[in-house]
Amino acid sequence: MTGTSEARDGRIGNWKVGVVTSIRRESASGRSITIDVPGWGGNIAGQHTDVRLTAQNGYTAVRSYSVASAGVGDRIELAVDRLPTGEVSPYLVDTLREGDELELRGPLGGWFVWTPQQAESVQLIGGGSGIVPLMAMIRSHEASGSATPFRLLYSVRTPLDAFFRAELESPSANLEVTWIFTRRAPSGCSRPAGRITAADLEAHGFPAALSPTVFVCGPTGFVETVATALVALGHEPNRVKTERFGGA
Amino acid sequence: MVEHIDGNALAGPLSDLFTFDPTTASARCAGCGDVAVLARAMVYGEPDTFVVRCANCDDVLMTIVQAPDRFCIELRGMTWLKIPR
Ligand SMILES: Cc1cc2nc3c(=O)[nH]c(=O)nc-3n(C[C@H](O)[C@H](O)[C@H](O)COP(=O)(O)OP(=O)(O)OC[C@H]3O[C@@H](n4cnc5c(N)ncnc54)[C@H](O)[C@@H]3O)c2cc1C
Ligand SMILES: [Zn+2]
C-alpha cells in the first residue's frame, strides 16, 4: 500500500475485503450472495457497493452492485444477474463460492435511498435485477414497522426469472405487489405477457395526485421508458428517482 | 441508444477524492443553467473514463479520467457545485 492510500484509511472509498458466507440461487442466471465485510458499518436502503476483481496479471475490473439488505452491521446481501458476455457478473454467479474473498467499497450513494423517516407513499418499479435496491427498501420498511403505503411493480421475463420470489409472494400488510411478465405469464394471469406500459403504471401505481416518491430501477431502457411514462402521467420529475443499471 | 447510467454510479469512483458524497451535491449546468444533483446526471463510458452529461441539455458537465497513477477531472461544464453538509 502506498503512503497516500494509508493516509486515507477510514474513507468510504477504501477497498475492504469481504468473505462470502452464503450463496443462494434466485433464478437460472441470478444468485444472491451474502458477504461479511469488516468495517462496512451498515447501510441505508438503496445504497450500492463497488466490487473489484483483480486478475493474476494485475488487471482489475470494477462494477457497482446494489445492496439488497439494509440496516446496521457488517453483513450484506447482493444479488447478481449473469450477463452471458459480461466480464464480472459470470464470475460472481458461476465461480464465486462460500469462503471466497471479495474486494468491495461502500456503502455508496446517498440519493437513491429510502429511510423510515419518510412518511409519503412510495412507488417502487423494478425491472429484472433492478429489484435489488428496492428489496432493501421493502425490507427496511417492514423492519422499521413503517405504516407508509408501499407499492411495487416488478417486471420480469417469466415467473422463474424473479429474484426474492418467495419473499415477494407473501408481502407485508403495507406492501402491494404487482407482477409484470414480459415473455411468459403464468396461467391464470389476466395480463398478457408484454413489456411494461403507461397503462400498467396507471392501473397499479399510486396516482400522481398522491405525490408519491417513485423509485425506478433496472436496465437503462426500462428505466427510461418508465420514467418518461410517469412524467406523462403527471408525476413531478423531481419525485421520480432513477437508477440505471446499464445496457441498452 | 448509447449505453449510459446515472450519476449515482459516481459515488464509488469519486469517493477516492472527496470526503463528501458527490452524488447528493448539486451542480449548475454552464450550458442551460439547470440545477440538479449529480446523481441525476447521465454518465457515459465506464470504466476508466466517465463523461458526465447534463440530464436536461446533454452538455458535458464533467469528465473524469482514472489512470493508475492519477485522476484527471475537467469541470468546465458546471458553474458551481453545491455540497450539502
Ligand atoms: C448503481 C448500480 C447498481 C447496480 N446494481 C446491480 C445489481 O444489484 N445486480 C446486478 O446484477 N447488476 C447491477 N448493476 C449492473 C452491474 O454493475 C454490471 O453492469 C453488470 O453486472 C454487468 O457487468 P459485467 O461485467 O458482467 O458485464 P460487462 O462486461 O460490463 O458488459 C457485458 C455486456 O452486457 C451489456 N450490459 C451491461 N449492463 C447491462 C444490463 N444491465 N442489461 C443488459 N445488458 C447489459 C453491455 O453493453 C455489454 O455488452 C448495477 C449497476 C449500477 C450502475
Ligand atoms: Zn444543461
- Domain boundaries in chain B? 5-82
CA of A214 to the centre of ligand 1 (A): 22
Across the interface, whether the CB atoms of B5 and A242 are under 8 A apart is answered no
Q: Do strands A150-156 and B35-37 pair parallel, antiparallel, or not at all (unpaired)?
A: unpaired
Domain architecture of chain A: domains with CATH: 5-108 (2.40.30.10), 122-245 (3.40.50.80)
A221 neighbourhood in chain B, CB within 8 Å: 1
d(CA A6, CA A4): 5
Enumerate the H helices of A8-130 as residue ranges. Answer: 89-90
CA of A70 to the centre of ligand 1 (A): 22
Task: Inform me whether the C-beta atom of residue A64 falls under 8 Å from chain B C-beta atoms.
Answer: yes
Counting Cα atoms < 13 Å in the Cβ hemisphere of A92 gives: 31
Condensed to tens digits (0 to 9), the pLDDT of residues B40-82 reads: 999 998 678 999 999 999 999 999 998 888 889 999 999 999 9
The answer to whether B2 touches B18, Cβ cutoff 8 Å, is: no
- Give the ipTM of the model, two decimals please: 0.94
Across the interface, whether the CB atoms of A244 and B6 are under 8 A apart is answered yes
Condensed to tens digits (0 to 9), the pLDDT of residues A119-136 reads: 999 999 999 999 999 999
Q: Whose CA is nearest to atom 52 of ligand 1?
A: A245
Model confidence, pTM: 0.95
Q: How far is B6 from chain A (nearest CA, A)?
A: 6
d(CA A162, CA A129): 8
